[in-house]
Amino acid sequence: MANHPSAKKRIRSDNAKRLRNRYYAKTTRTAIKGLRKLTSKPEAEEKLPKVISLIDRLAKKSVIHKNKASNLKAKLTSYVNNLQ
């Protein structure tokens, strides 16, 4: 167990950041799943920029790796472009 005040504060702040990151990551995963369920191209094209924005935000805050963000965006864009 931590004894120094700074170490105790670090534990508290790490827990707060972990919960915040978990919330944002889960929200983004849900948005991605929602986009992948869409079958109409106009709806998907409308939702794609919002999902990409969420993914970019996670990458910027280092919740997910920037390469994973790029892969996700490429796959989602490809999915939307191939819809009829």
Please give the Cα distance from 55 to 72 (Å, whole number).
8
Q: Which two tokens stand for residue 41?
A: 């191209």
Q: Tell me the mean pLDDT in the region 69-84.
A: 97
CATH code assigned at 15: 1.20.58.110
Mind listing the pLDDT tens digit for each residue in 17-72? 999 999 999 999 999 999 999 999 999 999 999 999 999 999 999 999 999 999 99
Domain count, the chain: 1
Q: Which domain holds residue 62?
A: 5-81
Instruction: Output the pLDDT for position 53.
Output: 98
- This prediction has a pTM of 0.86
Q: Where are the alpha helices (DSSP H) in the chain?
A: 5-37, 41-60, 66-81
DSSP, collapsed to helix, strand or coil, labels residue 83 as coil
